[in-house]
């Protein structure tokens, strides 16, 4: 009957429930559909026959339940789940655990790919305008789409994975619910919304829309949309990967099977955080440079329009006049030099990005490695060497960087010690 739960009970463990002597004899109770509870007295001499009786009795109850038209609690063995026509997966199956680990890695990979969208804006040093790196845009959107396909496969797998009934968590792993309707209802109520928000192809849509139009007026809107969308989608992605990691630890004992693997995993998270911070630093440096350019353009009065600052608008009226004066105007108002004691515009912590020329470098590997090193360096030192301006968002970014570095360092050391302790305990219990 639809909507009813079919439950698993491991009858192989009945020997462990039975007492070792007649002096410590206890009573176990079983029930049928509508009858009262009956005591079952057991001993070591009768445990084998008792198990056979339980199996025969369960078959009889199943046949009665089918004839009466409603579900019953039944004892099902692991081999019965494998041959089940419903194709429901055991949550402790080794293959499923491996798939969950791969899904965690795919979530981490998706978090790794998303910051690449921050590198799409780039300054054209020849025309003194802000544009979009189209080749990188195609690569980033393609990688994001491939990862989302794996995410969709995991969502489909969630609809076919049994779960432990909360009311049956008494002995061991409890009873498993294998009814597809109940599994789907539970997934839709808990994780479906978060998974759906995580795989929305919003960054790809923004990028593909720009590639189709390629108008200079869309550069600013594309840059701001990518910043907002990636930041918002980080929330459901982190909300999904953290509980799944905890579930793997609870199911398999530890996430990594060796101390070195655990250390490598948490070090990977630290490097991932450095990658994200470096990408934010790059994009925010372009934001401050764009703000300076707009301020200088407004000060140039009739010779400049803010549309001239974005690549693709060279055909606008009045651009020829701006083309003759843009070099002197922007250089005098937005010069970024680290050794300048009196700069015309205070870029704060973004001075290094602008003076080094990475914001206008066409070599992606060069700018990526430079930003990654900046993020790792300042996370490790908790941002102690940063000299900020009075710009509020810059100060908030520096505060978040320092706090994140402190938390990540504590988690790295603490989890490495915790993983080592658990692995030592597991190895000692197996001997």
| pLDDT at residue number 293 | 93
Q: Find out whether 364 and 327 touch, Cβ atoms under 8 Å.
A: no
Domain endpoint, select from 56, 76, 96 = 76
Residues 251 and 305 reside in one and the same domain: no
In this structure, are 108 and 58 located in the same domain? no
Query: Structural domain of residue 276, as residue ranges?
Result: 256-408
The answer on 92 and 71 residing in a single domain is no
Q: Are 338 and 352 spatial neighbours (Cβ–Cβ below 8 Å)? A: yes
- 52 within domain boundaries: yes
Same domain, yes or no: 247 and 288: no
In a domain, 415, yes or no: no
Spans in the chain with pLDDT lower than 70: 1-86, 166-174, 214-217, 242-263, 415-431
For the beta carbon of residue 325, count every other beta carbon within 10 angstroms.
12
Number of structural domains, the chain?
3
pLDDT given at position 349: 94
Q: Are residues 170 and 306 in the same domain?
A: no
Q: Tell me: the pLDDT tens digits for 147-181?
A: 888 888 888 888 887 777 766 665 555 677 777 88
Residue 352 lies in a domain: yes
Within this chain, do residues 245 and 337 fall inside the same structural domain, yes or no? no
| The predicted structure's pLDDT at residue 430 | 60
Residues 337 and 224 reside in one and the same domain: no
Domain assignment present for residue 396? The answer is yes
Query: Burial level of 411, CB count in 10 A (0-12/13-18/19+)?
Result: middle
Confidence at residue 162, expressed as pLDDT on a 0 to 100 scale: 77
Domain boundary (195, 230, 255) is at 255
249 lies in the same domain as 119: yes
307 and 361 belong to one structural domain: yes
Last residue of a domain, one of 255, 290, 310: 255
**Same domain as 242, residue 102:** yes
Residue 221 lies in a domain: yes
Q: Is residue 378 part of a domain?
A: yes
- Residues 239 and 121 occupy one common structural domain: yes
Q: Is residue 172 part of a domain?
A: yes
72 and 91 both lie in a single domain: no
Q: Does residue 116 sit within a domain?
A: yes
């Amino acid at each position: 009957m639809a909507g009813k739960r079919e439950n698993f009970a491991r009858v192989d463990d009945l020997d462990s429930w039975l007492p070792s002597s007649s002096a410590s004899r206890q009573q176990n109770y079983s029930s049928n559909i509508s009858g009262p509870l009956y005591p079952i007295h057991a001993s070591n001499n009768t445990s084998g026959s008792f198990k056979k009786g339980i199996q025969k009795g369960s078959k009889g109850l199943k046949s009665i339940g089918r004839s009466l038209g409603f579900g019953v609690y039944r004892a099902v063995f692991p081999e019965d789940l494998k041959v089940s026509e419903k194709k429901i997966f055991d949550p402790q199956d080794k293959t499923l655990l491996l798939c969950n680990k791969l899904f965690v890695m795919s979530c981490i990979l998706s978090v790794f790919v998303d910051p690449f969208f921050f590198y799409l804006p780039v300054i054209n040093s020849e025309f003194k305008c802000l544009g979009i790196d189209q080749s990188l845009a195609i690569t980033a959107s393609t990688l994001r789409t491939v990862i989302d396909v794996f995410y969709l496969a995991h969502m489909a797998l969630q609809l076919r994975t049994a779960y432990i009934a909360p009311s049956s968590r008494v002995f061991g792993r409890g009873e498993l619910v294998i009814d597809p309707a109940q599994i789907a209802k539970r997934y839709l109520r808990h994780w479906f919304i978060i998974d759906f928000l995580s795989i929305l192809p919003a960054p790809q849509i923004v990028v593909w829309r720009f590639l189709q139009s390629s108008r200079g007026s869309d550069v600013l809107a594309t840059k701001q949309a990518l910043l907002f969308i990636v930041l918002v989608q980080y929330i459901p992605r982190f909300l999904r990967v953290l509980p799944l990691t905890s579930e793997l630890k609870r199911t398999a004992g530890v996430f990594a099977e060796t101390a070195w693997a655990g250390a490598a995993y948490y070090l990977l998270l630290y490097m991932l955080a450095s990658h994200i911070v470096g990408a934010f630093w790059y994009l925010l440096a372009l934001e401050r440079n764009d703000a300076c350019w707009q301020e200088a353009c407004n000060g140039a009065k009739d010779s400049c329009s803010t549309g001239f600052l974005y690549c693709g608008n060279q055909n606008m009226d009045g651009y020829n006049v701006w083309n003759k004066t843009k070099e002197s105007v922007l250089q005098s108002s937005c010069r970024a030099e680290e050794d300048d004691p009196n700069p015309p515009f205070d870029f704060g912590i973004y001075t290094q990005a602008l003076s080094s020329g990475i914001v206008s470098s066409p070599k992606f590997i060069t700018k990526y490695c430079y930003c990654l090193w900046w993020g790792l360096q300042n996370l490790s030192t908790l941002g102690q060497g940063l000299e900020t301006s009075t710009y509020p968002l810059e100060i908030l970014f520096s505060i978040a960087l320092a706090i994140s570095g402190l938390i990540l360092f504590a988690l790295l050391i603490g989890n490495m010690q915790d993983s080592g302790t658990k692995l030592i305990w597991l190895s000692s219990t197996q001997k």
